[in-house]
Amino acid sequence: MVTLTKAEEKIMMILWDIEKGFIKDILDQYPDPKPPYNSVSTIVRVLVQKEIVGYTAYGKSHQYHPLIEKEDYSKGQLSRLVTDYYDNSLKQVVSFFSESKKLNEKELDEAIQMLEELKSQKKNG
């Protein structure tokens, strides 16, 4: 899975949200101050080259759409993060979140419940 720059991720977030659109449609979703049209167009062309974004041509105009699902990209990035920064250790990830994110009791209970369900699935599957 390819890793995107912050600018590329911003455009992908917009495309995942609007599903398809022209450069103007993407720009319309940016908060002010909006980046220049040519900057967005260049980034979108890079995403096309990376085969993350596809398009439908309408004469000289192109309507762009994501070629990967947001969930798939998110899973890939989270997996890379866990592998690269936490030695592929769920224990280290849980430790990080419990210590640095100041999880409240409800969030901890939800995490424990999810882990228990995962444990049960592993036993039964």
Structural domain total, the chain: 2
Flag whether 107 is in a domain.
Answer: yes
Flag whether 47 is in a domain.
Answer: yes
Q: What is the pLDDT of residue 3?
A: 85
Q: Are 26 and 59 within one domain?
A: yes
Q: For the segment 15-39, what is each residue's pLDDT rounded down to a tens digit?
A: 999 999 999 999 999 999 999 999 9
Round to whole Å and give the CA distance between 8 and 38.
14
Where do the H-state alpha helices sit in 3-104? 6-18, 23-29, 37-49, 70-85, 90-100
Mean pLDDT for the chain overall: 90
The band of 47, judged by pLDDT with boundaries at 50, 70 and 90, is: very high
Q: Are 11 and 61 within one domain?
A: yes
Flag whether 62 is in a domain.
Answer: yes
The domain in which residue 97 lies consists of 88-125
Residue 118 has pLDDT above 90, yes or no: no
Q: What is the pLDDT of residue 11?
A: 97
pTM across the whole model: 0.78
